[in-house]
Structure formats: structure tokens, C-alpha cells
Chains A and B, each alone.
Chain A
Amino acid sequence: MLHHLIRILLITPFFAVFIHTKTMAQTQDKKRVTGNFENYTFTRLADRLEAATGYHFYYDPRDLDTLAIDMTVNNATINQILDRLFEHTDFHYAIDPYGRVFITRHAAIITTLPEALGGPGKLTSQQGIDLAAQDQADRSKLKKVLAENQLMEIGNKANHTPGKATVAGYVRNDATGEPVVGASVYADAMTIAVTTDQFGFYSLTLPKGRHQVNVSGSGMKDTRRIIVLYSDGKLDIDMPEAVATLKAVIVSAEKTSNTQSVEMGVNRLNIRTIKQVPVVFGETDIMKVVESLPGVTTVGEASNGINVRGGSTDQNLILFDGATVYNPSHLFGFFSAFNPDVVKGVELYKSGIPEKYGGRLSSVLDVSMLGGNNKKWSGVAAIGPLTSKLTIEGPLQKEKTTVVAGVRTTYSNWLLNNLPDNAYHGSKANFYDANLRITHIIDPKNTLYVMGYLSSDWFNLDNDTTYRYNNKNANIKWKHLFNNKSNALFSFGVDNYQYSVSDTRDSTNDFKLAFKINQTWLRAEFSYAPDNRNAISYGVSSIDYKLHPGSYTPLGSESIVVPNIVPAEQALESAVWLGDQFTVNSRLSVSAGLRYSVFNYLGPHDEYNYAPGVPLSTSTIVDTSHYGKNKFIKTYSAPEIRLSARYSLSDNASVKVSYNTLEQYIHMLSNTVSISPTDIWKLSDPHIKPQQGDQVSLGYYRNFKANTIEASVEVYYKRIRNYLDYKSGAELLLNSHIETDVLTTKGKAYGAEFLLRKLTGRLNGWISYTYSRTFLKQDDPLAGQLINYGNWYPADFDKPHNLNVIANYRVTHRYSFSANVVYSTGRPITLPLSIFVLDGTPGLYYSQRNQYRIPDYFRTDVSVIIDGNHRIHQRTHNFWTVGAYNLFARQNPYSVYFIQENGKIKGYQLSIFGTVIPFVTYTIKF
């Protein structure tokens, strides 16, 4: 690509100190001006002067719109007018030999090229400053400055037709080549910005001509490019990462700020923010940080999932670089299954879920994987008390093929064996995960992305029951650019999750219980940006499910266990969608989408038929119908609406509203009453209808102190239909007629979320408080039993009060201190209260469903991060993390369960980390 260098405009104060504005004044007066400019804006004045003198003005109207002009001139030169106008202001001007007038703030522009840069050396200043000498000081800095200031020609210069053209390209980190996702790209003072997609791609349509393209992204330093747009063309932009400074930085990235984006109910975290949060054993944990966001709650310390806005854990679509992860945890839920070193960032959609996503009611958690450094090889190795990990990234072929590979494993066995409590002796716990991502740029229009993910766990806590589970995911994505305005992403993937429980208590009863889910999917997504006001997306996707809902088989030759295998289930979930993000004007922008999803429950399967008009029960089974392979047993379909709108009240305050409807065809059934939760997934079938939900939410966003402090309040109300709860006495495992043990309930959830977040400065972090309620109701006698007399009752995960404080204080560049405080109401529980005997049969009397609550959860963690040193150029970079988890040693219950002991029913609460846990971790970056 030709970097046609026309002119270099240097505006840093560094150069400007040597130049006095007046010396720049040109002598070649063209015409003198006479006039009375009362109540003029600068724009109007400039128009008049341009018309009168033939000069052209270049300036940022935002800078000058506050300048009130009230003057009368008589036969004045342009220099005289501008001198007078800018007297006592910090505006400066410069006029080049071609009659262009540049208005800048703080410093004037040098309008000619310095010698060292091979220019003609037409320094008009008589002082003859040796800029080249100054310039040698930091070439790289200059390079950056050059990129920002050189004029780039885009498109075919010969094309002289008026109108608009589109510039498109990738925004990347200039140090690593990593795509910058979610960056705002906008031209001049335009209030309309476009956002880069998950691959850092943007497309911006502008009137042909000269523009300043500004780019700002979270965690990145703002940059800009000066372009002359002749016709459609490509502009890749490398932007520098923001260097952490202790002084509060003035962040001007208001285009990306939460007050300006149309999205609502979205939380974005980049990995740098995530890594500051202290967590158990110093192991950076993505899910734990997500749990601290407003609107997110969790049932227990070590639960397998999150509850978003009063939704259940199965109502979250957890995507890891496009792959659905069914169990995002390690070590019975204490660590998330995502290796933080390969994660780039996390996006959580709580409302305003884009139409391209579907299949879950509550949220989409999109965890993106690092694209990898395409410029040089680098890596991270970390040694902690529980895990060790190694990540390597680099170019296999420079700026063409990039690879990221990470592995993480634990050596927690010795930890368990060193515990003083005998109950843990002989216990074993192991896990590992491995990630691979390859990005291959075939040509500027075609890029391939390949990812592979494997996470595996096995643990054994009482010597005879071994639990294992695996996530296995792989996918390939092909991004194709048709042209600057439209592009497509085709992807294909396989996701697999399985678990097993094997018991070797005594040889005759040894068993293995296994569950497996497999999905194969195909997606085609298209983006079309006809202009900057519209971002249209459409696409089609299909998921082929195959579920093995449970098998119970003998283990070993002596076992006399009778095998019980619940027949496999299969289904196809497909969707088409179309959406547009439409910017009405600078204040109002609307995003509207429609998704239509279809679910086919497929054979081969034997379906029970139940007597009509009576509740489903094993005693009302009439007969069985057999369906052959790929026969459509049942089809469900529904349109889903996705609407959201943002109205800006001012530059730093806005209101947003959204409405969503969603459908969910796969459900998790979780046996929370047993000691070890054994969750199974169930597809919708002729008896189990899809869950349906809709949500309306309203939010107010306000930023303070130049967008460095974000505050927001969001309220929501949700309705859920066909949410599955369990009948009294339901059996979930190995049940081939699960429909007789579940109930469909109505649900309602409402809440308010408050967030105060400061992401820069010495003290940063956030405080979030969530008030969230979820109630269910089962009042249809035909559906089975009434729960709590048909009244609303709290759902298992109804936790009204949730407070999270995450604070990070940088004492110096080398030391920083972090604290994390979590408080939440205990979750509801149904307690056995009393024993009775009726007609000779003993029975247990339970309280009403979820009538009581387990104790509240409260935990405080602290950590100190000590950096080895801060030189940029060194072979390795290392730092220590020292901290304590659960500082106040509170025994928060992980699970509460009841067992029969010597003929008595006894309750126990299990707290895994019931004491303070100090930790030290050492990390090396190279």
C-alpha cells in the first residue's frame, strides 16, 4: 500500500515550544476582508472568510463551537483577523503555502516537512530549528505521531464522482497485532460511531473527501488517522495500548462509554480488569469476576454456574470463542474452566441480547479468546499453589498465521493429602485444560480461525466415589469480506460435555453413572453496513443435539448392578435472524431484531403416551409410540423479538430501554438436594415444552469526571413460562419418564442493579449492588401437584440482596493492593421438619417449598501484587501475588444436605473453604 506522504502535521507540544505562532504568519496576503461579524460562530466566520479570501480552514468544530465572535474588521488581513480572534485564547493557527489555515489548540502546526524526513526542507520559520535533532530522541514516538498525522489516501484517486464511499479494515493492538474488539471508529466530529466486531473489523461510510478517523477502545489509547477518501478502500489501524498511569487519566473515549452505546444490560470486562481481582489461591478466575457484576448471583461458593437477573443456571449461554461450554468450572466449581492467560475479555448480555444469539433465556456470556501476537513470540508461565500454567503465542508466519496455545494443570492432590482433617486423606482432585487458537490470514478478504478447547476434571473425595467430567470443543470460522460494506462469517463446530460418577464402595454394587451431551453446529452470519446509520446483521444457524441422558452400568466383573440406560435423545435447533442497529440521530439510536427459532425433536425414540386430562404419572401411561430415526416427533417454533433503544440526555448521561423475548429448548435438571449435585440436561420433547421468557428493562447511565466514573441503575421485569421445577419426590437421575417428575411453572423475576465503577487512576474497581427476586408458581392442578398451595414461591436461586465490592489501589507502580468483598442472602431451602407414622409407614414432613434460607454468604479477600521491576526492555517480567482468601474465616455453607445416620435424619452443611486461606503466586512473562 502506498503511503503517499503529502504533508506532515506535527502537533505535539514537544515540537511546538520552539515556535512562536506569529512567526508562522504568512506574508502572502491574498485579499483583505471588511465586515461586521456579530454573533458569529466560528464555522460561519470561516465560511465567510473562505468565500472572501480563497483560504481553506481546517479545524475541529467541537473545539471552536464555544468561541463567541463579535468583531468588526476593516480591510484586515487574515492574519490580523485571526490574531485578534485568538488573542487570550489557547488557539493557534498556521497557514501553509497552499492557502490552508489550520486551527489548533495548545500549539500551532508546523506546516512543512523537516529535513530528516526527506522533505523539501521548506521551513518557513526564519529561526531554522533543527527538528531532526529533536526527532532522533524517539523514533518510535515519531512513528506513532506520523501514523496519526500523515494524510492517507484511500481508494482510487481517479474516481471523482461525488457521494459517499466506505472505508473498512481491522483495528489491532500495535504491539501484538491482537484485534481490538468493540472499539469505536468515527469520523471528524460526527456523532455516529461504528463499532469493531469480534475480529476487530469495522466499516465506516463517509462522504468522499478529507476526514479524520478517530478510534477509541477500552484499555487502548485513542488514535486517529487523517484520510482523503476517494472511493471504497481499506484502512487497517494499529492502536497503542493505554499505559497504566497512577494519575487519573483523562479518558476521552466517550464513544465507547456506557452512556453512548445503544447496548443495554451488557457488561464488558477485559482481562486486565479481571486479573486485578483477588481470588482463591491467586488463581485469576473469570467466572468469579463475572459473579461480582450487578445482576449476577450464584447459588453457592462453588456452584457450577451463575444466575443472571433471576434466571436459573441453565439459562445462560456460555460461549468460549463460539463454542458452547456446558460446565464452565473446575474442581467441583471452585475455579472457572477458562484459563485466564488465553482469554481476551468477557461480555455478558443480561438484556438487549443481540438477535444472533438464542437458545437460552437469561443471558449470553461470551468469553473471547486471545488472537495471539502476530509480531513476535511471547508467553506467560505461572506457578501457584494449586495450578501451573503456560501460554505461548506468536506468529507461525509473520502477520499471516498466528497461534496461541495454553495449558493449565493442577497438583492439588498433595494439598488434599496434607489437610489435617482425616476425612480428606486419600482424596484426589485433578484437572487440566488446554486451549489452542490459530488465526490464518489467507488474503486480505479471507481469514480462518480455528479453536480447540479441552477441559477435564476428576476428583474423589471419599475414596470410593469418583467424579469425572470433560468439556471438549472445537470449531472453525471463516471470515470473508465481500466488500467494505458487507462481510460474512461461516462457522462449524462440535461441542461435547460429559460426566460420570463411579462408585467402588463394594465390589458387588460397583457402578458407573454417565451422562453425555454432544452438539454439532453450523452458522452463517452476515453483516451489512449500507451507511453509518445502519448496521444490519442477518444469518442462519443450526445445532444438532445428541444427548445420552444417563446410563447406570455395573463396574467390574463382580458387580451385580442391573444396567439401566436411558435412551438417547436427539434434536435439531435452527434459527434465522435479521436485525438492524439504526442511529436515528445523535441522541437516539435503536436496535431492532427478529429471530425465528425452530426446534425439532427427532427419533429414534420411544415416547410414552399418557391418558388425557390427568396429570402425567407412571400410573397414567397408556401406551408407547415408537419413532424411527430422524422422524420428527415434535416441532416447536417461535419468533423472538429483540429491541433496545438509547436516548442521550447529555454527553454523559443517557436512558436506555429494551425488550426481549427468548426461547429455550434445552433444560438442566439439577439434583440440588444430594451431597454432590449431579446435573443432567433434557431436551424439550412432546411433554416438556420450551421455556419462554420476556424481559423489559430500563436503565439510567451517568458518567462523571470525564467518563472515568461510570454509574448506572438498571431495573428489569421478567416473565418466564414453562420453567421446570420438580414435583415433590421427583427422581431425576436415570428416569426415562422425566416428564412425570417435573412441573412446568410460571415465573416472574424483577430487580434493580446499581453499579458504580471507576476503571482508571490509583484507586479503581467497582461496587455493585443487586436486588433480585425470582418467584415461581404452579397453580394448575392438571399439571400435577400444586406447590405451596398454588402461591408464588421463591425459586431455588432467589437471593434478594447481593453486594460486591472490588477495589484495587496502586500504591506505586510496583505495588498494588486489592480487596474483594462479597455479601449475599442465603439461598432458599426446603427443610425436613418432622417424622410421622401413618398406617404403619414412616414419613418425613418437609416445610413448604423453599420456606427457609441457608445462612447468608459473606467473604472478604485481599491480595497484594508486587511487580519485580518496571523496565520495559527485559527478558522476563515477573510478579508476585500474595493474599488471603476468606480473610475473616467465615464458614460459608457450600451445600446443605440431610442423611440418615443410625436411623436418624441429620443435617450437615459443608463449607469447603471454611477458614482463611493465604496464598502466594509467582508469574513470569516472557
Chain B
Amino acid sequence: MRPRYLLLLCCGSWLLVTTLTRCRQAYDPPAIQAANNYLVVDGFINTGANAVTTFNLNTSVNLNDTTATGKPVIDATVTLVASNGQTWPLIDSNNTGSYSSAPLDLDITQRYSLSISTLNGQKYASDPVPCYQTPPIDSVWWRQPGDLDINVTTHAPAGNTRYYRYDFIQTWQHDAELQSPWTVVNGLLVASDSSNQLSECWTTDSSTAVLLATSASLTQNLISGYTVNIIPNGDARLDIGYSILVRQYAITEDAFNYWQLIQKTTDNIGTLFDVQPTQLIGNIHCTTNPTQPVIGFISATSMQQQRLNILHTWLNSWPHNEPGNTCDTMTLSGNAGYTLIWPNPGAYWWPYYFDANDDLVVGSRFCLDCTYSGGTNKKPSFWPW
């Protein structure tokens, strides 16, 4: 049979869709709206010699809460308990939620746990944990060119724990763009000294990432060149001088796994590369309400630390950081400067220098006062230069 020719009638067909409204809406179920203030136990049992054990207690906050850090838990009773029954109180002397023991020499053959009772009647207890002694850090060293890596090498007897956690405190010098020999003390223009100078500042902060290393897959208990910090080339922290105190904690495998999960919790949220939700199960439990989550993992260990200092001049092609500020200057004759500046300190202008005519040159304060961009003007005691 011959093909029948097709009669295609393109009749009108139209879409009555006019509204596809509000496809995306906030998802905020009661589970998320709830306070969700869970106890966060932050610290470790310090097994070092004559060491103070400190725990910070605070509560986690709701997702909609803008508080950067948790709310401190004050007036709690915190006790360190050894498996032989001995107890030591931890005292929050400043009412900041930071509970510390007296300096202790704990018997490392014992197991220790932490017990907490809060004002609202809840009781918490950690699982008893064995004591570890953290081996000393062999070296903290850096490597460049390009970005700067700061690495740790350590080793311990094979029988020791093979899991390590690190954190660090870093300090860097940042100078004012315009250096002045003068400063203002009690409304008086005086020559600056080390206690009130504003040309050289030092800013200190701590690591914000979870740093973990393990030798579990190695034949030796050796951590060789674990990178704790990477500073991108040209970063202002190495403009002048930089000092890092790396702290090492030997921990149990369980603690290691716990920290590894925290490491992942906030990575990449809301992207194509989202990680799966994590489930944090620590070793502290609420004994009065077992279903209530408690965040934190107690380890009993000592802390080992080592400092590394680096000067900008040691580095290969590390461009100076250009803040890009426009520094204004102005010459004042006579006493004009005094009236301009000192009735309201903190104003825009700040003394710079006296010119050849002994007129005071003033400049933008943010260019003359390094504390303007943070930090302290007191040289830290460990600062080598």
C-alpha cells in the first residue's frame, strides 16, 4: 500500500499557564526553629606536669541566631574524676564559662572523666578516657617559593597513639603606613616609646580549621611534614615578620574521627559539591536526658608546642602588601594642630612629624596608627626581633 500522505493540521494550542509562583520558599520546620541550644564542652584534660586543665562550656546556637560564638554556661559545677575516685573541681573564676583546675600532676595510669551539672539541673558525664602523653614536636619548618607552607614533623614510639590533632596561634607584625616618632598621651604630644608607639603592631589569632594527622598507615609512628598552615603568596601576614606557635595533641582514634567529622560539617554547603550531613557522636552524654545531644569529645592528653619565626626578608619574591589607603597629610602652622586634633582624639587627623619650619604635619590617622587595623602595639614577649 502506498504511504498515505500526512495531513498535519497545526491547530491552535495554547498554554493557560500564567502563574508559576513562588517556587522557592524558606524551609524552616519546627525542628530548626527550636532553640537547639546544646551543651558544647570545649577543652581537654591536661596530663602534663603541673598543668592546668581548662574547659570552656557554652551552648550551640540556633541556625537563625547571629551570635558568632556560643553563649557561655556559667555557674555550672564541673569536676574532673579519676577512675580511682579522686576528684578535682574546675572553677569558673571570671564567670566567663571557662572552668579551670589548679595546676595538677595527674596519674597517667588512671582513666579520667568529666562530670558537669548545670544550673537547670541537667547532669552530664563523659566516658572515662585513657591518658596519653603527647610526644614533643621534632620540628616546625617552612617551605617556599610561591605560597608559604608551615609544616610539623614529629615522631613517637610505635606503641603510642598514632593520631594527632594540631592547632596554632599565629602572630604577625604590621606597621603603620606612615611612621611617626610622636604620639599623644593624656592629650599631650609626646615622643613615643615602646609602650605607646603606634607604628609597629602585632596581631594574634588562632587556627580556625581542624588540623589532624595520623601515622596509622605507616610502619613508623612518624608525622613527616604535616602542613598546618598555608599562607598565600603576598599575604600581609608576612609583610614584616611572622611567628607561629604550633601545638600538638596526641589523641585517641575515636577523638580523631570526631574531629574529622567537624572538619567536614560546614564545607561547601549549598554547592554542587555538598558533602553529606555529618553525625557527631561524642563521648559526653547527658545523664538526666539521654536523648539530648552534647557536643564535644574529651581527651586526656598533654600539649606540646613549638614556635617558628619567619622574617619577610627570608622569603623569595613575596610582594609587599599594598593596603591601598590614600594617606592625606596636612601642614598646620602654630597651634592650629592642637585645636584641630586634641579636643576630640580619635578624629581623622593624627600627628605625623614636625617639618623644617617646626610646623606640625598631620596625617590620616589610619595611616599613622597601626592599631587601627587591629592588634596590639605592645611587642609580644616572644617576638625575636
- Where the two chains meet, the residues of A that have a C-beta atom closer than 8 Å to any C-beta of B are 375-379, 381, 383-386, 392, 394-395, 398, 415, 418-421, 423-424, 465, 501, 513, 610-611, 614, 617, 619-622, 671, 673-676, 678, 726-734, 741, 785-789, 830-849, 852, 875-876, 878, 891, 893, 896-900, 903-915, 917-922, 924, 926
Contact = CB atoms under 8 A, between A and B. Distances in A.
B21 A915 contact: yes
Interface of B: 1-4, 6-29, 31-32, 34, 36-38, 40, 42, 58, 60-66, 68-70, 167, 206-210, 212-214, 216-217, 257, 260-267, 269-281, 293, 295-296
A924 B37 CA distance: 63
A576 B343 CA distance: 96
A465 B272 CA distance: 10
B21 A914 contact: yes
Given A834-B61, A834-B63, A730 B14 contact: no
B29 A852 contact: yes
A394 B262 contact: no
Nearest to A381: B8
Contact of B6 (A384, A732, A836, A926): A926
Contacts of A415: 15, 17
B297 to A, nearest CB: 8
A924 B63 CA distance: 55
A878 B9 contact: yes
B192 to A, nearest CB: 33
B3 A908 contact: no
B217 A383 contact: no
A394 B5 CA distance: 12
A376 B1 contact: yes
Which 4 residue pairs across A and B have the least CB separation, nearest first?
A899-B270, A729-B264, A728-B278, A385-B15
A836 B38 contact: yes
A852 B15 contact: no
A394 B13 CA distance: 28
Contact of B217 (A621, A830, A846, A910): A621
Contacts of B213: 619
Contacts of B214: 619-620
Contacts of B8: 381, 924, 926
Contact of B61 (A611, A835, A912): A835
Contact of A834 (B13, B60, B167, B270): B60
B19 to A, nearest CB: 6
A924 B9 contact: yes
A423 B11 CA distance: 32
Contacts of B295: 836, 838, 843, 845
Select the residue from B10, B266, B278 with max chain A CB neighbours within 10 A.
B278
A732 B276 CA distance: 9
A787 B23 CA distance: 33
Given A845-B293, A845-B295, A898 B279 contact: no
B26 A907 contact: yes
B60 A845 contact: yes
Given A786-B281, A840-B167, A926-B7, A920 B26 contact: no
A831 B31 CA distance: 8
Contact of A674 (B29, B216, B271): B271
A421 B21 contact: yes
B6 A910 contact: no
Contacts of A376: 1, 4
B207 A840 contact: yes
A893 B275 contact: no
Nearest to B1: A376
7 contacts: A419-B20, A730-B276, A833-B34, A837-B42, A903-B66, A914-B23, A920-B15
A921 B12 CA distance: 9
B11 A922 contact: yes
A834 B279 contact: no
Nearest to B17: A917
Given A376-B1, A840-B208, A920-B16, A845 B273 contact: no
Contacts of B22: 421, 891, 914
B23 A733 contact: no
A168 B287 CA distance: 76
A836 B217 contact: no
A673 B274 CA distance: 7
A642 B32 CA distance: 47
